[in-house]
Amino acid sequence: MKLGNKRRYLLAAAGAAAMFATVGGARAQDVKIGFILPMTGQQQSTGKQEAAAAKLWMAQHGDTVAGKKVELIIRDDAAVPDNTKRIAQDLLVNEKVNFLAGFGITPAALAVAPLATQAKTPEIVTAAGTSIITEKSPYIARTSFTLAQSSVPMADWAAQNGIKKVVTMVSDYAPGHDAEDSFAKEFTAKGGQIPDHITFPLANPDFAPFLQRAADDKPDAIFVFVPSGQGGTFVKQFVEKGLDKAGIKIIGPGDVTDDDLLNNMGDPILGTITAHIYSADHNSPANKAFVAAFEKANNGMRPNFMAVGAYDGMHLMYAALEKTGGKTDGDSLIAAMKGMAWESPRGPISIDAETRDIIQNVYIRKVEKKNGQLYNVEFATIPNVKDPIKAGTIK
Q: Which of 34, 104, 107, 252 binds another protein (CB under 8 A)?
A: 107
Residue 12 or 270 having the CB closest to another protein: 12
Residue 357 phi/psi, 5-degree rounding, is: -100, 165
Query: Minimal distance in Å, beta carbon 343 to another protein?
Result: 31
Query: 124 with 99: CB under 8 angstroms?
Result: yes
Residue from 34, 42, 46, 47 in contact with another protein (CB under 8 A): 47
Residues 358-387, one symbol each (x = binds another protein by CB under 8 A, - = not), give ------------------------------
Contact flags string 304-343 toward another protein, x per CB under 8 A: ----------------------------------------
Residue 115 engages another protein in binding (rule: CB under 8 A): yes
Q: How far is CA 196 from the centre of its chain?
A: 28
Q: Residue 150 interacts with another protein (CB under 8 A)?
A: no
In the complex, the smallest distance separating the C-beta of residue 24 from another protein, rounded to whole angstroms, is 9
The stretch near another protein (CB under 8 A) out of 108-116, 210-218, 305-313, 346-354 is 108-116
Nearer to another protein, 226 or 367 (CB): 226
114 in contact with another protein (CB under 8 A): yes
- Interface with another protein (CB under 8 A): 13, 17, 20, 37, 39-40, 44, 47-48, 51, 74-76, 80-82, 85-86, 89-90, 92-94, 106-107, 110-111, 114-115, 118-119, 171-174, 201-203
